[in-house]
Amino acid sequence: MGLKVVIIGGGSSYTPEIVEGFILRHQTFPVSELVLVDIEEGEEKLDIVGNLALRMIKKANLPISLSWTLNRRKALVNANFVTTQIRVGGLDAREKDERIPLTHGVLGQETNGPGGIFKAFRTIPVLMEISKEMNEICPNAWLINFTNPAGIVTEALLKHGNHKKVIGVCNIPYNMKNSVAEMMNCSAKDVAIEFIGMNHFVFGRNVLVNGVNKTSEVLDKLLSKEIDYSPANIVALGWSDEFIKSLKLLPNPYHQYYFQTEEVLQKDLAAFKENGTRAEIVKEVEKELLNKYQDEELEVKPPELEKRGGAYYSDAACSLMNSIYTNKGDIQTINIQNHGAIPDLPSDSVIEVNAVITKDGPKPIAVGELPLSIKGIVQQMKAFEQLVIDAALSGDYLKAYQAMVMNPLVPSEKKAKVILDEMLDAHKNHLPQFSQMEGRGIE
Ligand code: G6P
């Protein structure tokens, strides 16, 4: 029987990247059937992206049968791998996630702070539905989730979903490893970084190049800005000597929201005043991309896709699927349940960690106790993530309030309520679980 992959959110402008990933790996990961699935609102985009994918496959002259559909249940029949790259409410919802906090002088970001909380609230129930369908229709398939906030969504699925073959993937550890390789003039295969923490809150420790410890050299290059592994959506402000030399860890680009909060807020407020939100910029980039995709002559992924922060996500995802399929036993960085790898975090919580990838799925490699320098904040962020999941699943107003208040980017409990209420109203069409609003108004 052939190898079937289903991409949920297939109309995304990122899709040509993952299609290219399948084309490049066809010898070791011979996809025979690829189905792109989307919802009615995304039908036009799905047609455009589907037709480009068709031309890409035709040019590569590979026996991959491609189709696209709005019928998710039908698409899932006989799937071996399912990927999820959805954005509930589209870029309009993202714009609200970014705009509303900023108008209250609070960081507005799609995966951090109030924006990340609301993205989780909108996304988790939909992913739960997909999990239920997969459990019923394709119980042996792996679900590879890149939908943000990827760590929180993956934890919700693994703890509360029906389908348990779930792995979360992000491009950040992948970018960090590749940048080190580029700087050291070697292949990414020769670089090993131990990753500790959670998605968009992960630190790198012990950087090995061909087995030799190069951590200090890499930390020095980070300080001198000779290495910058920030994705397109983040402008790195640079770290201070003291921060890097005392931690002796590689921060990820999202750490600037937590450790340079004031500076990032000022920068983001200025950018917001000048150019609007990142969502508005992305809308323009996407318009440009979709115009390009309609060019009948285009048969490859266009380089403009690199203007998106998520570029290269598909390399991480395709390598993961490839290693599961071939039972490779290599090490990749993924989001999976802790099971004691970090004893200071709950065993069933999801962490971003190196894992050995075989046909039975990933086995996390033990990290050990968290260094004292980061222990408190990592535990706080994990507790926050759990509050978000509880609120997203229960639709309980006070739980949502608690998640908002306990997020380190929300500076005041009064402001937390104002932002929460405004965002609940703004997103109400995508938050059926909060329709009762029990507890709202309690002072
Ligand atoms: C980074 C993150 C992704 C996120 C993306 C946003 O790469 O790791 O999780 O989706 O940035 O990029 P965008 O172009 O949508 O702002």
Report if residue 59 sits inside a domain.
yes
What is the CA(358)–ligand 1 centre distance, in A? Answer: 28
Residues 5, 14: Cα–Cα separation, whole Å: 16
Cα 329 versus chain centre, distance = 23
Phi, psi (deg, nearest 5) at residue 341: -60, -40
Can you give the pLDDT at residue 436? 81
What is the CA(276)–ligand 1 centre distance, in A? Answer: 17
What is the CA(232)–ligand 1 centre distance, in A? Answer: 8
Residue nearest to atom 6 of ligand 1 (CA): 309
Q: Is the pTM of the predicted complex or chain greater than 0.75?
A: yes
Probe target for ligand 1 pocket from 111, 178, 234, 283, with the most ligand atoms within 8 Å of CB: 111
Report if residue 413 sits inside a domain.
no
Report if residue 432 sits inside a domain.
no
Report if residue 163 sits inside a domain.
yes
**Residues flanking ligand 1, CB < 6 Å:** 148, 170-172, 231-233, 278, 282, 308-310
Probe target for ligand 1 pocket from 169, 306, 308, with the most ligand atoms within 8 Å of CB: 308
Residues 374, 250: Cα–Cα separation, whole Å: 12
Per residue in 96-130, pLDDT (tens digit) is 999 999 999 999 999 999 999 999 999 999 999 99
Query: Which ligand 1 atom sits nearest the alpha carbon of residue 308?
Result: 14
Residues 179, 189: Cα–Cα separation, whole Å: 12
Per residue in 253-295, pLDDT (tens digit) is 999 999 999 999 999 999 999 999 999 999 999 999 999 999 9
328: Cβ contacts below 8 Å, ≥ 6 apart: 322, 357, 358
Query: Which ligand 1 atom sits nearest the alpha carbon of residue 310?
Result: 7
What is the CA(342)–ligand 1 centre distance, in A? Answer: 26
Report if residue 146 sits inside a domain.
yes
Band (pLDDT 50/70/90 cuts) for residue 443 is very low
Q: What is the SS3 assignment for 260-309?
A: CHHHHHHHHHHHHHHHCCHHHHHHHHHHHHHHHHCCCCCCCCCHHHHHCC
Report if residue 119 sits inside a domain.
yes
Query: Which ligand 1 atom sits nearest the alpha carbon of residue 172?
Result: 8
Per residue in 391-415, pLDDT (tens digit) is 999 999 999 999 999 999 999 999 9
Of 114, 429, 425, nearest to 440 by C-alpha is 425
Of 181, 175, 168, nearest to 336 by C-alpha is 168
Phi, psi (deg, nearest 5) at residue 142: -90, 135
Q: Which amino acid is it at 330? A: D
Phi, psi (deg, nearest 5) at residue 34: -125, 125
Report if residue 78 sits inside a domain.
yes
Between the alpha carbon of residue 329 and those of residues 176, 252, 320, 353, the distances in Å are 21, 26, 11, 15
Active site residue 293: no
Assess contact for 202 and 174: CB atoms under 8 A.
Answer: no
CATH number of the domain enclosing 37: 3.40.50.720
Q: Which amino acid is it at 243? A: F
Query: Which ligand 1 atom sits nearest the alpha carbon of residue 307?
Result: 14
Question: What tokens does 69 get?
Answer: 């559909």
Domain membership of residue 70 as a residue range: 3-169
Per residue in 10-61, pLDDT (tens digit) is 999 999 999 999 999 999 999 999 999 999 999 999 999 999 999 999 999 9
What is the CA(126)–ligand 1 centre distance, in A? Answer: 20
Residues 227, 211: Cα–Cα separation, whole Å: 20
Report if residue 75 sits inside a domain.
yes
Helix or strand (DSSP H, E) at 337: strand 330-337
Residues 22, 158: Cα–Cα separation, whole Å: 26
Q: What is the number of domains present in the chain?
A: 1
Tell me which of 14, 254, 312, 401 is the catalytic residue. 254
